[in-house]
A and B are shown apart, each in its own frame.
Chain A
Amino acid sequence: MKILETSGLKKFFYRLQALKGVDLHVEEGELVGLIGPNGSGKTTLFDCITGILKPSGGKVYFKDKDITNFKPDGSYKMGIGRTFQLAQLFPEMTVMENMLLAIQESQGSMLNRLFRIREDDNRNKALSLLEFLKIGHVRDEFAKNLSYGQQKLLDLGMVLMADPELILLDEPLAGVNRSLAVEIVERIRELRKNCGCTFIIIEHDMKVVMDLCERIVVLDYGEKIAEGTPEQIQNNEKVLSAYFGG
């Protein structure tokens, strides 16, 4: 079953066209890699899917529902979670508070939130996720005091709190040391096995993308230039030309 589909998605920044009618479809449970040179429109595509940017044209469907004009809070409540190139946290709040904020808005009404003081279930869930991500020991630290790698893991943990069906990871390994990168990839694999979520990953580490993803979509100058299995992509002329010139 198709979980996400974009058709003819366009985005203009004044005269610059960042997306030139991108068609993308992702099946439920898939792990899709989204690659392309810098400035090819990968993050803009994520921004348009999650409602951070309003597309200039085209449509976004999530589980056959048109979510083109949804705002970010709407797309999150629909079941789309997203991490960022630079970890986006609440620096002056503790790790636990960061995790709890990630789930509270998906539960109950505004009025309920004023009267819900005890949240033991959410706390337990946050703790087990933090343990899974191996940052349980820093749960009472302010997020700003975490190392960059730990911040990336917290960023991922926050997305997992509300059990999203589709997770968009924007360069989860950027700026992370090798051993932590291996750790993050391991966690993604485990998650995939255990929760059955669908992933779209933007990543520049080609080895990781080729190992991890079943299908890869390549963007260049806002256009989809190739799509296929890792083997097909590795041998695609257009992709090689986009990356190496010529």
Chain B
Amino acid sequence: MNTVKASKVTPLRASIGWLCLLGIFVLPAFSVSSQYILYLASLTCIYTLTAAGLNLILGYAGQISLAQAAFMGIGAYTVALLSTKLSFWVALPLGGGIAFVLGLVLGFPSLKVKHHYLAMITLGFNIIVYLILMNEQEITGGSYGVFNIPRPKAGPIDFTSNESYHILIALVTCFIMLLTYWTLNSQWGRAFKGIRENELRAEMLGVSLRNYKLLAFAIGSAFAGIAGGLLAPLLGYIDPTIFNLGFSFQFLLMVIVGGSGRFEGPFIGAIIITIFPEIFRVAERLYFVIFALAAMLILIFMPKGAVTLWDWLFQTITGREAPKLTK
């Protein structure tokens, strides 16, 4: 029997990998002349962050959440409303913090219900947040939204241009991905996977379902909060319709199409879901039909997500199995 050797993730290789990823994230700011493509690159980073949060909840801890858009909305509105009064640098972590606390609260039903019941509860949460953003006009501006959201400055460094703001988004995304990598390779990551694989046995081995499930929900939601905080100044204008239920489903699609439970999954999924529709725009009215078909075909031929394609490419080129980035 021919066995393929697995590639080991040594500290040196991991460092090179991280530098490459940072390069990929930052590169469009220097190489792309089209402002629209740069905007898509910024969106891909923001979506990667939100999908990475959902991947932690769904792919690793095995819980379902259809409220990522709501948490993005919470982060986005926090930054939009507070960055002029306080500072972007306070509002961004605050948005993440509020999403963390609310994620913790939303995690409680996961201690009682599972699967589609949990999906319905989180879906309900998304609708509640949407309605609050829509109806609390005095605070959120209601359906008119919030205008003129400024981009930040840090002393002499100005992030107002599209290029410099993209670099900021790329740096924040990379930093949070690094934190995720650390978490998933710690004993927390193993406990998350244990809960996904066999909840009863995990509990029988001392894994506190309450602590880990709540943590997964809170961390995953905080990622979406921070992503939303980055999105608001990118767009310059936000209104509640952005953070609707369809947006949450889009993140679910990113995780599933990219590869649920794989570290690389959300990044690949975000690229596919953000870039593919743009490529298919040449088909005019049919572009969304083609996009939906493409997503279906990926799932039929690669049930574990498009990350399988990366595994295959890696093995074909190097003759070794693609490295496992998390335990």
> B8 → chain A, closest Cβ, in Å?
12
| Cβ-based interface call for B327 (8 A) | yes
A77 interface residue (CB < 8 Å to B): yes
The complex places the Cα of A162 from the Cα of B206 at a distance, in Å, of 10
- Which of B193, B197, B206, B327 makes the CB contact (< 8 A) with A73? B206
Q: When chains A and B are docked, how far (Å) is the Cα of A192 from the Cα of B206?
A: 23
The answer, yes or no, to whether B187 is at the interface (CB within 8 Å) is yes
Contacts of A158 in B (CB 8 A): 205
B186-A88 in contact (CB<8A): no
Q: Count of A residues near B, CB < 8 Å?
A: 31
Q: Are A115 and B186 in contact, with the CB atoms below 8 A?
A: yes
- Which stretch in B24-32, B148-156, B207-215 binds the other chain? B207-215
- The residues in B between 175 and 203 inclusive whose CB is less than 8 angstroms from any CB of A are 183, 185-188, 190-191, 193-194, 197-198, 200-203
**Separation in Å of the A152 CB from the closest CB of chain B?**
14
Check: A52 CB closer than 8 A to any chain B CB. Answer: yes
Whether B191 contacts A88 by the Cβ 8 Å rule is no
A16 in contact (CB, < 8 A): no
Interface extent on B, as a size class? 20 to 34
Instruction: From A76, A77, A104, give the contact of B187 (CB < 8 A).
Output: A104
Q: Which residue of A lies closest to B211 (CB)?
A: A110
Q: Are A82 and B204 in contact (CB under 8 A)?
A: yes
Q: Are A76 and B205 in contact (CB under 8 A)?
A: yes
Contact partners of B198 in chain A: CB under 8 A? 88-91
Q: Are A91 and B197 in contact (CB under 8 A)?
A: yes
CA distance A91 to B196 in the complex (A): 10
A106 to B205, CA, bound (A): 9
Does residue A2 face the partner (Cβ distance < 8 Å to B)?
A: no
- A84, closest chain B residue (CB): B201
Task: Name the interface residues of B296-327: CB closer than 8 Å to any CB of A.
Answer: 327
Given that A90-B194, A113-B188, A114-B183 are contacting pairs, would A101 and B204 also be in contact in the complex, using a CB cutoff of 8 Å? no
Least CB distance, A178 to chain B, in whole angstroms: 27
Pairwise interchain contact A117-B185, C-beta atoms closer than 8 A: yes
A73-B203 in contact (CB<8A): yes
Contact in complex: A104, B204 (CB < 8 Å): no
Q: Are A114 and B203 in contact (CB under 8 A)?
A: no
Closest 10 CB pairs of A and B: A105-B206, A90-B197, A113-B187, A88-B201, A76-B206, A72-B203, A104-B187, A73-B206, A72-B204, A114-B186
List 10 interface pairs A-B (beta carbons < 8 Å), by A numbering: A89-B198, A90-B193, A91-B197, A97-B193, A101-B207, A102-B205, A105-B191, A105-B208, A113-B187, A162-B205
Other CB < 8 Å A-B pairs besides A72-B200, A89-B201, 4 of them?
A: A90-B193, A91-B197, A101-B205, A114-B183
